[in-house]
Amino acid sequence: MADLELQDMQGFIARGYAELKAASYVLLQITSASSARAWLATLATSITAASARPSDSALNVAFTVTGLRKLGLADQTLAQFSNEFRTGMTTPHRRRTLGDVGPSAPEEWLWGGPGTPPPDVLLLLFGRDEPTLENTYRSLANGFANGGVTAILRLEAFVDLDGKEHFGFADGISQPTIAGLSSRVDTPPNTIRPGEFILGYENEYGRQTNAPDLARNGSYVVFRHLSQDVRGFWRFVAAAADAHDVDRTWLASKMVGRWPSGAPLTLTPDSDEPSLANANDFTYQYGDADGLRCPIGAHVRRSHPRDSLDPDPGTARSVAVDKRHRLLRRGREYGPPMDDPYATPSADDPDRGLYFICVMANIARQFELIQHSWVNNPTFDGLYDGPDPLVGQHTPNAAFVIPAHPISERVTAIPQFVTTRGGAYFFLPSLTALNALSAG
Amino acid sequence: MISQSAVTIMTDILAGHENALQKLLEDAAADAANNNLVPFGVFTSVHFARFFIMPPASDLTGRPLAARLVFLADVDGAASTFLHELVDRAAAGLDTIFSHCAGYHGRSTLLPFLHQHRLASTAKYVNTIGRTVEQVHQEATLREMLRGYLDRHATNFRGTSPRRVRAALQEFVEQEPTLAWARRPASGPDSAYFLGETLHLAVTTIAGIVLFPLVLAGLPLWLYLLRRHETQDITRDVAPSDELVETLAAQEDHGVQNPFTSAGLLKPGPFRRFTASVVLWGTNFLARHVFNHADLIGVKTIHFARWIFIDQKRRVIFASSYDGSLENYMDDFIDKIAWGLNATFSNGFDYPRTNWLILDGARDEQIFKRFNLTHQLVTQFWYAGYQGLTALNIENNARIRAGLYGALDEAATRAWLQRL
């Protein structure tokens, strides 16, 4: 296997900079191509590479297709990027498959939709703490005007929820390990060939994802601005738990597939077990094929089915399918933590949610397939009317089945708890490509 | 038992009429069940139906191939019965459609015109042979009503034995007059059907044994020719334009089922024509006798599929009705039965290069997906007789009905209850 050229890759592929607690995502528009190219040439010298381990701050940069076009990338080269990247997140077909309809329709978005200026550049900025981040941002922002770019929006993720997301569950536990990235050894099912995430390397089909030469050591980034209705979620769960005469946390954990600590229901079905909080080496087929522990419809089971899908559940053939649909998740929460979801909210109840950001080499086969065929699909793995109870797009008949003996129980009329408020597909270039782009 | 028929009608489109016809079909497609052209909702025997236009093309020698209108339907019972009913109930709409087609002489000739333009399927796949539209609907209703009953009594049933829950469900069905039909099992294959199929299998097997020495004798030559073709064939990797991708995607993912329609030229020469004929004959044979119930070698998402030779075996149409997205459909095939795809499609012009007929080919994921997209056709009109139900749902519903009565032991009863 080819060695990974870490010094040429942006650090965002290798890590989410968890130790840098504050993050800003800055959306820019290019107003002057020539100034922007000069600005980029300087910016390139401050970009954090995958070979670095920053302890103070980090900076990475990605571009939409309009950004690459404005920077003067030839049509012929642009045409070699994927159709998803070129045509974007808001085509009529993608609205349907990603679930961006109704309140999630791009017309309602804060950014990335038809009513707001199209972003060209995304700056991914991280700092040890808020002041450090502010300093870095200020010195960068000073260069925007002369650099031919204007800030459209600055999204801030300063919140630290102690490893949990806003609904109250540990997040980001199941991350794939990129083969050859570090000396860390992971289980074979969770060790994924680099070409699934980095362009220019072999993927799980033993091929390279088609892309222009310029894209080598680069990757695609999917960014979704997801608002979470935390009050709505817990109030619904409380009412449903009363109606079914069960415990609230138990019911919510069934919907997630892990307990609040992160412990998987498949390993500890009856109560939370903090010692299993980070457990990730488990399968579904032997011991939990019917979902009596972790329901088939649960969020974690459908977004990462492990060995549970055809062909031949429980075998390497099934795992091979799962390995072709993995994501490097790099998202962060935004908005203040929720103290008491049952309390009456103040008039200016702030928005809270997740900047869902993930890195992959094939948007159609990875992010889009997971979102459409697994998360939003009401008929996933033989279900009826059962989209992801937590994050899926819900129609009025959305239901969640909890397998049990003698009969499974069904929670019905589940409202939608997550609304899309922005998003776009980006390309994260290598440092070599960044220099080429700045040279025009 | 009623088994399903695959109806195919293909006609040339009059020069200059393509756009008008396309508009007509697209307008009707907005409400496939109730439009005033052909309101398919009135036909209780139709599983799926579609109209599509094949744009004018040319074969490998440059000979032009006229634009075509193709009508496909998967129906319960005999094709001739369906065509009769179709003309009976939608003559005006069909007249409007076929007035754009060559050789059509008005409403009084509609039925003979349809018969005259019928094509036989070269191979066809039916998810479950003999399961009617009526049965699909009835069993979906049964499952919904049983589930509703359980929802109303869920907490009462906690700690109850599976046997008692099943007895309660049986009692519920017995007290529900609209479910009277569910007290009997679905009508399985009758003895005439069973005899016919057994006879077909037996005769074919005997013929196979008799011809086996001949096959064996011809095999070295066939393999030699295969390898020569495979190493010398030109295969172009053509990328679909963004416009094509968007046009095709516009008709997809409005529900859980999708239509797939495609057409392509065969590679030149008698060897490929011969090989394609043999492979599709074999495909049809296996689909009829082996993969005739809910599972095509691990792929459980296809309702119906067919291959049709047209233009003196210079071209093939492939069409299917399947569950999920096109991306998922293609991944399913690549991951599960790439060898089968290779065997049935690799005689097609530009198909990604195979080795020994079944190796490689579709295993090159991206080239295969591009090949698929560049051979896909827009399905201007598509009707689905039971929207929202996947093939997996339908099979599960059938098993719920099958397990409602009859002897089940404790473990089987528990497993049956989990299906609800």
For Cα atoms A124, A127, A133, give the angle at the middle one, nearest 5 degrees. 85
- Report the SS3 class of residue B53: strand
Please report residues of A whose CB lies closer than 8 A to that of B392.
379, 382
Q: Which residues of B touch A288 (CB under 8 A)?
A: none
State ipTM: 0.95
B-interface mutation test, from A209, A321, A379, most B Cβ less than 10 A away: A379
CA gap B289, B31 in Å, rounded? 36
Chain B residues near residue A93 by CB distance under 8 angstroms: 246, 249-250, 252-253
Whether residue A388 contacts residue A376, with contact meaning beta carbons closer than 8 Å, is answered with: yes
At residue B262, does pLDDT exceed 70?
Answer: yes
Region A220-239 average pLDDT? 98
> Which among B154, B246, B328 is the nearest to A87, CB-wise?
B246
pLDDT digits (tens, 9 = 90+) for B65-85: 999 999 999 999 999 999 999
State the pLDDT confidence band at B133, using cuts at 50, 70 and 90: very high
Provide mean pLDDT across the span A243-262.
97
Instruction: Please report, to the nearest 10 degrees, the dihedral formed by the alpha carbons of residues A279, A285, A291, A296 taken in order.
Output: 90
Query: Tens digits of per-residue pLDDT, B300-331?
Result: 999 999 999 999 999 999 999 999 999 999 99
What would the pLDDT profile of B101-116 be if each residue is shown by its tens digit? 999 999 999 999 999 9
Residue-level pLDDT at B191: 82
Cα distance between residue B232 and residue B224, in whole Å: 12
Q: How far apart are CA B22 and CA B24, in angstroms?
A: 5
- Asked if B366's CB is within 8 angstroms of A210's CB, the reply is yes
**B201-206 mean pLDDT:** 94
**Residues of chain B contacting residue A91, judged by C-beta atoms under 8 Å apart:** 246, 249
Q: Tell me if A22 sits within 8 A of A158, measured CB to CB.
A: yes
Number of A/B CB contacts below 8 angstroms equals: 107
The answer to whether residue B206 scores a pLDDT higher than 90 is yes
Residue range B275-299, pLDDT digits in tens: 999 999 999 999 999 888 888 888 9
Asked if A407 lies within 8 A of B155 by C-beta distance, the reply is no
Question: Mean pLDDT, to the nearest integer, of A356-385?
Answer: 97
Taking residues B8-18, report their average pLDDT.
97
Between residues B2 and A78, the one the model is more confident about: A78
Please judge whether A290 and B418 are an interchain contact, meaning their C-beta atoms are less than 8 angstroms apart.
yes
pLDDT-based confidence at residue A2 (cuts at 50, 70, 90):
low
Across chain A, mean pLDDT equals: 96
Cβ A408–B420 below 8 Å, yes or no?
A: yes
Residue B256 to residue A377, Cβ atoms within 8 A: yes
Mutation target for A interface from B252, B390, B395: give the one with most A CBs within 10 A. B390
Q: What is the mean pLDDT of residues B141-161?
A: 94
Q: Which residues of A touch B299 (CB under 8 A)?
A: 310
- Decide if A407 and B157 are in contact by the 8 Å CB cutoff: yes
List alpha helices for A99-166, DSSP H. Answer: 130-141
Residues of B in Cβ contact (< 8 Å) with A412: 151
- B412 in helix, strand or coil? helix
Q: What is the pLDDT of residues A406-433, one digit of tens each?
A: 999 999 999 999 999 999 999 999 999 9
Residues of A within 8 A of B157 (CB-CB) are 406-407
Tell me how far CA of residue B58 lies from CA of B265, B311, B379, B419, in angstroms. Answer: 9, 11, 20, 51
**Exposed / middle / buried, residue A376 (Cβ in 10 Å: 0-12, 13-18, 19+):** buried
Across B174-202, average pLDDT: 90
Other C-beta atoms lying within 10 Å of the C-beta of residue B49 = 24
Instruction: Compute the nearest-CA separation of B166 from chain A (Å).
Output: 10
Pairing of strands A191-192, A177-178: parallel
**Mutation for B interface: A93, A395, A407, most B CBs within 10 A:** A407
Say how far apart CA A275 and CA B212 lie, in whole Å.
Answer: 64
Pick B189 or A325 by higher pLDDT: A325
Please indicate whether, in this complex, the C-beta atoms of B246 and A91 are within 8 angstroms of each other. Answer: yes
Indicate which residue of A186, A272, A312, A351 is catalytic. Answer: A186
Q: What is the structure's pLDDT at B297? A: 84
pTM of the predicted structure, to 2 decimals? 0.96
Please give the distance of CA B337 from its chain centroid, rounded to a whole number. 17
**Is the predicted pLDDT of residue A1 greater than 70, yes or no?**
no
Mean pLDDT computed over B350-359? 94
Cβ separation B253–A365 shorter than 8 A: no
Looking at the predicted structure, is the pLDDT value of residue A285 above 60? yes
Contacts of A102 (CB under 8 A, 6+ apart): none
Query: What are the CA-CA distances from residue B259 to residues A86, A226, B79, B246, B378 (Å)?
Result: 25, 32, 21, 15, 9
- Asked if pLDDT for residue A297 goes beyond 90, the answer is yes
Q: B2 pLDDT band (50/70/90 cuts)?
A: confident
User: Would you call A31 exposed, middle or buried from its count of C-beta atoms within 10 A (0-12, 13-18, 19+)?
Assistant: middle
Residue A56 is among the residues annotated as catalytic for this protein: no
Chain A residues in contact with B251 (beta carbon < 8 A): none
Residues of chain A with Cβ-Cβ distance to B250 below 8 Å are: 92-93
Of A87, A244, A368, Cβ closest to residue B155: A244
Which residue has tokens 């776009």?
A424
**Which residue among A92, A378, A406 places its CB closest to the CB of B161?**
A406
Closest Cβ opposite residue B300 in set A91, A310, A364: A310
Considering only CB atoms, which chain A residues are within 8 Å of B364? 205, 207
DSSP B127: S
Q: Does residue B404 carry a pLDDT above 60?
A: yes
Most A CBs within 10 A among B169, B327, B353, B369, hence the mutation to make, goes to B327
What does the pLDDT look like over A39-98, one tens digit per residue? 999 999 999 999 999 999 999 999 999 999 999 999 999 999 999 999 999 999 999 999
Is the Cβ–Cβ distance between A98 and A7 less than 8 Å? no
User: What confidence tens digit (pLDDT) does each residue in A133-161 have?
Assistant: 999 999 999 999 999 999 999 999 988 88
When pLDDT is cut at 50, 70 and 90, the band that residue A341 belongs to is very high
Q: Which of B237, B253, B329, B399 to mutate to test the interface with A (most CBs of A within 10 A)?
A: B253
Evaluate if residue A110 carries a pLDDT over 70. yes
Q: Do the Cβ atoms of B365 and A86 come within 8 Å?
A: no
Taking contacts as CB-CB distances below 8 angstroms, the residues of chain B near A378 are 256
Chain B interface residues (partner A, CB cutoff 8 A): 143, 147, 150-151, 154-155, 157, 160-162, 165, 239-240, 242, 245-246, 249-250, 252-254, 256, 298-300, 323-325, 327-328, 331, 335-336, 363-366, 390, 392-393, 396, 414, 417-418, 420
The answer to whether B363 contacts A205, with C-beta atoms less than 8 Å apart, is yes
Q: Do B155 and A372 touch (CB under 8 A)?
A: no
Question: What is the separation of C-alpha B108 from the centre of its chain, rounded to a whole number of angstroms?
Answer: 31
Closest CB to B393: pick one of A205, A384, A407: A384
Is the model's pLDDT at B1 over the cut of 90? no
Angle made by CA atoms B42, B47, B51, in degrees to the nearest 5: 80
For residues B88-96, give the mean pLDDT: 96
Residue range A13-37, pLDDT digits in tens: 999 999 999 999 999 999 999 999 9
- Which stretches of chain A sit within 8 Å of chain B by CB? 79, 83, 86-87, 91-93, 96-97, 205, 207, 209-210, 244-245, 290, 310-312, 317, 320-321, 324, 364-365, 368-369, 372-373, 377-379, 382, 384, 403, 405-410, 412
Q: What is the mean pLDDT of residues B179-204?
A: 89
CA of B241, closest CA in chain A: separation in Å?
A: 9
Q: What is the CA radius of gyration of chain B?
A: 24
* B325 → closest Cβ in A245, A373, A409: A373
